[in-house]
A and B are shown apart, each in its own frame.
Chain A
Amino acid sequence: ETGVTQTPRHLVMGMTNKKSLKCEQHLGHNAMYWYKQSAKKPLELMFVYSLEERVENNSVPSRFSPECPNSSHLFLHLHTLQPEDSALYLCASSQSRGNYGYTFGSGTRLTVV
């Protein structure tokens, strides 16, 4: 399988639940990103990992916890979310050398009830 794969595609969770989003890339990239996309709002960069090290954390609430165990996998652990956290969560990857753009996954549609 090639490209960037995100699972699950859809997730409904209660505010007291704990869940995780998974992202996997088979492109040999060494940087990975989490974005949040809410209705009628611009793309929000949440976290950046470069060479498995978190290099950017854009004032994201602690109820979101990223993990990058290796250069091919990225997780976003969720706990005690709020309804306003409902959004499309997008994962992307890129190659640090050169400017080739990001490759995005199809996203996880998260609904917090």
Chain B
Amino acid sequence: AQSVTQPDIHITVSEGASLELRCNYSYGATPYLFWYVQSPGQGLQLLLKYFSGDTLVQGIKGFEAEFKRSQSSFNLRKPSVHWSDAAEYFCAVGAKSNFGNEKLTFGTGTRLTIIP
């Protein structure tokens, strides 16, 4: 069974500083990996996804993530954060269930706080 670990529960960065959120996964085959963002009281919005090919994936809002098979990691990065990036970030790994539907397993999330 697949699993996802987000080791950082809460991260605080200054506006304009760079950001890296960590994600480690466990999956027996080639993983499908996702990052989602959730603003307070809202649903989850897809930031980016990795299926295959180029290991550096570009997403919305200036985010990117790099898939490193040797480290079982899919860390999210942004070179310069904005106050509007304050939110909860979830990493997920996808697989097919026995019933044919897509099954995503989510990490516990990392809450990002931005300070002026």
Partner-B contacts on A (CB < 8 A): 4, 6, 30-31, 42-43, 48, 50-51, 53, 55-56, 88, 90, 92, 94-96, 98-107, 109
Contact = CB atoms under 8 A, between A and B. Distances in A.
A96 B100 contact: yes
Interface residues of B, number: 27
A104 to B, nearest CB: 4
B101 A50 contact: yes
A104 B90 contact: no
A42 to B, nearest CB: 5
Interface of B: 32, 34, 36, 41-46, 49, 51, 90, 92, 94-97, 99-104, 106-109
A42 B45 contact: no
Nearest to A44: B106
A6 to B, nearest CB: 8
B104 to A, nearest CB: 6
B99 A55 contact: yes
Contacts of A102: 44, 46, 102, 104
